[in-house]
A and B are shown apart, each in its own frame.
Chain A
Amino acid sequence: KAGVTQTPRYLIKTRGQQVTLSCSPISGHRSVSWYQQTPGQGLQFLFEYFSETQRNKGNFPGRFSGRQFSNSRSEMNVSTLELGDSALYLCASSLAGGPIEAFFGQGTRLTVV
């Protein structure tokens, strides 16, 4: 069974640009969550999707958005990038009802210059 796949693995963007990150969950998993990891703030929850519906959202500005498709694949978008958005973005999938035993992808390392 393939694991959680995140693309791209590495990304360098310029301040003010926007970026879209992709996550393909484990087959059969319908819940997808996104987390931001930085040295200063640690691991912080961004949002969670289940059956194309956002069920929870973390304390991030509106520049951070996401969506989930009917095949459970998910994307997150960050607009008007700031230097502080440089981070490892992790996607996690789980079977159904939330974060029980979440399976994480390898992450997308975003660097904003």
Chain B
Amino acid sequence: SQQGEEDPQALSIQEGENATMNCSYKTSINNLQWYRQNSGRGLVHLILIRSNEREKHSGRLRVTLDTSKKSSSLLITASRAADTASYFCATDEKDSSYKLIFGSGTRLLVRP
């Protein structure tokens, strides 16, 4: 499979807690993105980090990228029940910029 790996596969936390999910990928990339998917619907773009960036913030989201380890993490702070969804990382490779390679996803449940 071309997919990257994400862990954990599933995460259950209490509202207000932070959620951290990790993504590993296999090849050199141009960019890494995180997407959210609610219950088998379309994906919503959350944040993009370029290969020459190490950290990026957007609202309650913080993304880090370590290209030497080919890994990224997504931190959601002060989680809300509405954050319950599946989260996917996606990379576009240096030699193939016209497709996204998705990770296997993390299912996040935020309990009220």
Interfacial residues, chain A to chain B (CB-CB below 8 A): 4, 31, 33, 35, 41-45, 48, 50, 55-56, 58-59, 88, 90, 92, 97-107, 109
User: CA of A93 to CA of B43 in the docked complex: distance in angstroms?
Assistant: 12
Contact A50 B31 (CB under 8 A): no
Contact B45 A43 (CB under 8 A): no
What are 19 A-B contacts defined by CB distance under 8 Å? A33-B98, A41-B1, A42-B102, A42-B103, A42-B104, A42-B105, A43-B102, A44-B2, A45-B100, A45-B101, A56-B98, A56-B99, A59-B2, A98-B92, A99-B98, A101-B33, A101-B45, A104-B35, A104-B42
Q: Find the A residue at minimum CB distance from B103.
A: A42
Residue of B2, B45, B98, B102 touching A98 (CB-CB under 8 A) = B98
Please, which residues of chain B bring their CB within 8 A of the CB of A106? 41-42
Please, which residues of chain A bring their CB within 8 A of the CB of B105? 42-43
Main secondary structure of the interface of A (DSSP, over half): strand
Given A48-B99, A98-B92, A98-B98, A42 and B3 touching (CB < 8 A)? yes
Q: Find the A residue at minimum CB distance from B105.
A: A42
B96 contacts the other chain (Cβ, under 8 Å)?
A: yes
Please, which residues of chain A bring their CB within 8 A of the CB of B97? 97-99
